[in-house]
Amino acid sequence: MAADWRIFLELGSVTCLTRGDGPPIATAATLPYDGGFAWISTVLVTAAERRQGLARWLMRHCIEELLARKLVPVLDATPAGRTVYVGLGFNDCWPMHRLVGRTIRAPSAISNAVAVRALTADDWPQVIAYDTAVFGAERNALLRRLADRLPNAALVAERGGRIAGFLLGRDGRVMSQLGPLAADDDAVASALLAQAIAVTPAPLTVDVPDRHAGLHDWLATLGFTAERLLTRMVHGTHVAFDEGARLFAIAGPELG
């Protein structure tokens, strides 16, 4: 979507290849974060120009540019992409699956100990602090853009008088995506998703790390099915920047 490209153009950078003055034939985007790393994504090549090494050239270009800026390249790879990225110096950190709900059953009631409500302007300092601790970098500008993209899914959870998690999302051409989702535990994560699912039309997608098997199973009871394997990969190391215990869903493979 155009809104996704605006994120890269305003917060990161886009490399575009053309032949002469013709239309774009290949693209790649990078999105830097202040935690010392940057995302590489949206490596796209038109059908007529594939199998000519353009994607690999773009990847090498992005990697070299980020390393020159002393930023560690990170990405979320499909199985096909992973085989290429291993050869470029990326290592596996952890797997996740894209769960898609095309026909979704209404969630049952969640524990009353978790209070879910709409995110307000006053919540932003706490939400940014929470996300920074979980994601590994401050991304205030990105999160605020996502809150505007899917307002019904911009939620916070409170327990014991403090924020115990939050959820954002974004609209898409084919379906809406729920994430990032950061929460203290499965109960909080489920409560946030239940509220968003109740007010957001299907189809919906959520990219959930495999380590949160309980959330996978709960979403399966609502009609979500795993449609794609993704692997978080980091260049030159096996160590990710995120705090895995509280990261229940990513913003998307394009954004981290």
Distance CA 107, CA 231 (A): 28
Distances (CA, A) of 240 to 92, 96, 115: 9, 14, 31
Residues 187 and 242 occupy one common structural domain: yes
* DSSP class of 73: E
Distance CA 229, CA 245 (A): 20
| pLDDT value at residue 133 | 98
Print the domain residue range for 149.
Answer: 98-249
Helix (H) or strand (E) holding 192: helix 186-199
Domain membership of residue 41 (yes or no) is yes
Residue 140 has which token pair? 């205030």
| pLDDT value at residue 48 | 74
| pLDDT value at residue 109 | 62
Q: Is 23 helix (H, G, I), strand (E, B) or coil?
A: coil
Residues 228 and 198 occupy one common structural domain: yes
Residues 90 and 103 occupy one common structural domain: no
85 with 233: CB under 8 angstroms?
Answer: yes
Residues 146 and 238 occupy one common structural domain: yes
| pLDDT value at residue 111 | 65
Domain membership of residue 37 (yes or no) is yes
On the CB side of 131, CA atoms within 13 Å amount to 27
CATH number at residue 195: 3.40.630.30
Residues 79 and 205 occupy one common structural domain: no
Residues 113 and 89 occupy one common structural domain: no
Residue 109 has which token pair? 């009631």
End-to-end CA distance of the chain: 17
Instruction: List residues bridging with 30 in a β-sheet.
Output: 13, 40
Residues 206 and 241 occupy one common structural domain: yes
Q: Is residue 17 packed enough to be buried (19+ CB in 10 Å), middle (13-18) or exposed (0-12)? A: middle
Residues 222 and 136 occupy one common structural domain: yes
Residues 135 and 69 occupy one common structural domain: no
Give me the torsion for CA of 252, 31, 87, 228, rounded to 10°: 10
Instruction: Give pTM, 2 decimals.
Output: 0.95
Domain membership of residue 102 (yes or no) is yes
**Domains of the chain: total:** 2
Domain membership of residue 256 (yes or no) is no
Residues 104 and 220 occupy one common structural domain: yes
Residues 151 and 181 occupy one common structural domain: yes
Compute mean pLDDT per 10 residues along the chain, 256 residues long, and list them.
91 90 88 96 85 89 97 96 94 98 85 88 98 98 97 96 96 95 97 96 98 97 97 96 97 96
